[in-house]
Amino acid sequence: MAGSVNKVILVGNLGRDPEVRRMNSGESVVNLNIATSESWRDKQSGERKEKTEWHRVVIFNENLAKIAEQYLKKGSKVYVEGQLQTRKWQDQTGAEKFTTEIVLQRFRGELTLLDGRAGGGEQSEYQGGGSDFGRSSPLEAPRGGGQARQPAATSSYAADLDDDIPF
């Protein structure tokens, strides 16, 4: 269809560490579980309410997949831009299921770490568009040895994210 737009913009926190799948082609595909939430005061009861929504993000964009793998961890706050895609699959009983995901296709989408201060001043923002754009040095000088990403500090917030993840 000439003239369509399919765009999702999320700012939220990872409910768990990124899941990395290595493809036969050598490329990686990274899955993120991202929580967004809203809070408000109920007009009737006066109570504070909060509702968390969980989003499944799939990163095929190679540069962004690398960055996700290297810099994101449970609890990280990120800006993500991708497109909606619903795919059909069958569970073990053969029942038809649908899953809607936010997909960052090859060369497309955006991913920006919003709390990058932790971890030593490294940046990790990257725009999906161009091959000559975005941060290159993190890719050239990746996480290196064992001093790397600490195993997902069980900070209070990250802990909150632990339950109720539907996927």
Q: 107 to 166, contacts with a copy of itself by CB under 8 A?
A: 107-110, 112-117, 122-125, 127-137, 157, 164-166
Q: Binding of DNA at residue 18 (CB under 7 A)?
A: no
Measured from the CB atom, the residue of 18 and 138 that comes closer to a copy of itself is: 138
Q: Binding of a copy of itself at residue 48 (CB under 8 A)?
A: yes
Its sign, for the CA torsion 24, 25, 26, 29, is negative
Q: Which of a copy of itself, DNA, none interacts with 163 (beta carbon under 5 to 8 A by kind)? A: none
Q: How many CA atoms lie within 13 A of 6 on its CB side?
A: 14
Q: Which of a copy of itself, DNA, none interacts with 14 (beta carbon under 5 to 8 A by kind)? A: DNA
Q: Binding of a copy of itself at residue 96 (CB under 8 A)?
A: yes
Q: 52 to 81, contacts with a copy of itself by CB under 8 A?
A: 52-55, 77, 79
Looking at beta carbons, which pairs linking 85-92 to residues 24 or more positions away fall under 8 Å?
85/58
Spell out the residues 6+ positions from residue 73 whose beta carbon is closer than 8 angstroms to its own.
14, 17, 18, 149, 150, 151, 152
Minimum Å gap between C-beta 122 and DNA is: 6
Binder of DNA out of 121, 130, 146, 151 (CB under 7 A): 121
Spell out the residues 6+ positions from residue 85 whose beta carbon is closer than 8 angstroms to its own.
58, 100, 101, 102, 103
Binder of DNA out of 72, 74, 104, 126 (CB under 7 A): 74
Q: Report the candidate in 75, 61, 58 with the shortest Cα–Cα distance to residue 19.
A: 58
Q: Which of DNA, a copy of itself, none interacts with 99 (beta carbon under 5 to 8 A by kind)? A: a copy of itself
Residue 108 near residue 80, CB atoms below 8 Å: no
